[in-house]
Amino acid sequence: MVEALGTKVLVAKPWQKSVHPLTAFSVGQLCDHRRTGDLLKFGDAFVAHTRNKCAEAFLNSPCEWMLTVDDDMIVPFGNPKWFRMATGFNFAQPFSDFNAIDRLMSHGKTLVGALYSGRYPGSNLMYGEAANPEESAWARRGPYNQIKPTRWVATGCLLIHRSVFEDIEKRFPRLARGGDKKGGQWFASTEASLVDRIQAVRDRLLEGGALTAEKAFKALEGLESALAEARAENPLGSGEDVSFCLRASAAGHQPYVDMGLVCGHIGHCVYGLHNTGIK
């Protein structure tokens, strides 16, 4: 449990060149410079680069927490009438009343994100277990006043304690910043441990003496183990949010999804629990 009260939150905006006005308004209302910092990174076509730059700036700041909000989200900020008007989500109290920062901070978890869907009619909810039809059906009957541990939660509205980034650097040194405190790759889509494991196998093969059948078999075992670990760390086709959460979990930080803090996701309309999932 991490103490959440009395700390400064950096509201990071890894945005592209255009932002929906409803997003800009809701995030602007969420910020309070007496307790939040503000960071904007925009223009890079590869969002993982932008997220890494936000994390780098955050770690070089005095802030303890980073709330990352994407450029197509409608985030609750404590005005239920406006939120219902902007999203069409008619949630009962207290779910329409939440302030995203207050709500996420209240859990005292190092990595916890809001609940939202993809931004097209047939999309899933954006956390790991929601691909299961029974889980998805249950979640769509919400919201619920609880948080759930999850394999991964998406980065559209995600609160991260600085220790998550620092512990990922310890667990995956190849992804860590350099001596100038720049160049961290926490969100990179790469199997960070694979190179280390392959180099270890190579070193064992190059050890003195002839290449015996036993040595070759041990090398094959090492390669198979390295491939299995790489697939678990970063499955083919997964997004940078999945990669980040899997690394955080490996570094000792369980991701959580807040089943009561629901954000709108802007596509052709505002998508949420009740207008997605049906193809």
User: What digits encode the pLDDT tens for the residues 167-195?
Assistant: 999 999 989 999 999 999 999 876 555 56
The angle subtended at Cα 201 by Cα 196 and Cα 205, nearest 5°, is 145
The helix/strand/coil state of 2 is coil
Check if CATH label 3.30.1520.10 holds for domain 9-180+240-271: no
Instruction: Give the pLDDT band of residue 120 (cuts 50, 70, 90).
Output: confident
Cα radius of gyration rounded to whole Å, the chain = 21
- Per-residue pLDDT, 150: 97
- Separation CA 142–CA 144 (nearest Å): 5
Q: Is residue 1's pLDDT more than 60?
A: no
In the chain, the largest separation of any two C-alpha atoms, in whole Å, equals: 76
Is the omega angle on the peptide bond into residue 94 within 30 degrees of 0, that is, cis? yes
139: its two tokens: 């979640």
Instruction: Give the pLDDT band of residue 80 (cuts 50, 70, 90).
Output: very high
Q: What is the pTM of this model?
A: 0.83
Mean pLDDT along residues 145-163: 97
8-57 pLDDT per residue, tens = 999 999 998 789 999 999 999 998 888 899 888 887 767 888 999 999 99
Judge contact between 65 and 159, C-beta under 8 A: yes
For 149-189, the DSSP string reads E-S-B-STEEEEEHHHHHHHHHH-GGGS--TTS----TT--
CB-neighbour burial class of residue 257 (10 A; exposed 0-12, middle 13-18, buried 19+): buried
Dihedral sign, CA of 144, 145, 149, 155?
positive
Q: Is residue 4's pLDDT more than 60?
A: no
169: its two tokens: 């650097």
Long-range CB pairs of 125-133, under 8 A, 24+ apart, other chains included: 125/273, 125/276, 125/277, 126/153, 126/154, 126/156, 126/241, 126/265, 127/151, 127/152, 127/153, 127/154, 127/257, 128/152, 128/153, 128/242, 128/245, 128/255
Choose the weakest-confidence range: 37-51, 58-72, 238-252: 37-51
Domain ranges of the chain: 9-180+240-271, 194-233
